[in-house]
Amino acid sequence: MKFLKFSVILTITITIFSCKTQQKVSKLKENKHKTEHSHWAYTGENNPNNWSHIKGEYMACDGNSQSPIDIKDAMAVQPEKKNNLTLHYTTSSIDILNNGHTEEFVISDGNSLQFNGKTYQLKQFHMHTLSEHTVNGKHFPLEIHFVNKANDDTYAVVSVLVKEGKESTFLKTYLSHFPEHEGEYKQDGEMNIMAVLPTTEHFYHYKGSFTTPPCTEAVEWIVLKEHPTASKEQLEKLHGLMHDNYRPIQKLNKRKIDAQ
């Protein structure tokens, strides 16, 4: 009889433990499912400090060659061999897309750049407020990224740091056309891409990553030294659309910065 009571108690205990364990496993699976399908963000739970934990594909966000960085003139060196940059940007039909993180100009085929003998096709350009890169510790109110892709899935990104000053002709033309809500886009005829860029003769160069997940470390960064301007009103309106959509500065580690 005692053995029977013990067996009943043991069975009940095991059943309760099993139920609790199953509930815990189900909860963990539920949380994992939520995490795996959560999208990255600049604020909140999925902010830049947690990007590498959101999905396995984002693990590179904890890598040693991440972007953006602070470009210190005191640390920049003249390259042993001059970096050769040639832009073959002309006109393009454009779609302006609000992807939930930035305003992106999707570019049609036929525009490219060559960097140190390698050809990259221009895919899109987009904007960040404030700037992602800093120069000698200083943010700019706006940074524009021209994203170019080679056939081997490596990238060259041309960065334009915009300062406050005279009105931007580019923003004057397109700012009122920027879609305000995620997922919206507008087709807007053709544009002269070179009109957005300053002179490209002098720039900083270093090897880094995407500044957004998956943070792939396969990017030749070309940060132009010439800084075009935009008016205070234009910059404020743009910031109102995108808010603070910039990633914090990452460690340089053992990388070098070329300056020419």
Catalytic residues: 101
Give the E-state strand segments of the chain in sequence order.
70-71, 85-88, 91-98, 103-107, 112-115, 118-128, 134-135, 142-149, 155-164, 185-192, 203-208, 219-224, 229-230, 258-259
The b/e string for 214-230 (b: 16+ C-beta within 10 A; e otherwise) is: bbbbbbbbbbbbeebbb
User: DSSP H helical segments within the chain, as ranges?
Assistant: 2-36, 51-54, 169-174, 232-242
Query: Who contacts 173 (Cβ-Cβ below 8 Å, separation ≥6)?
Result: 191
Cα–Cα distance between 44 and 209 in angstroms, integer?
Answer: 23
Cα–Cα distance between 174 and 188 in angstroms, integer?
Answer: 9
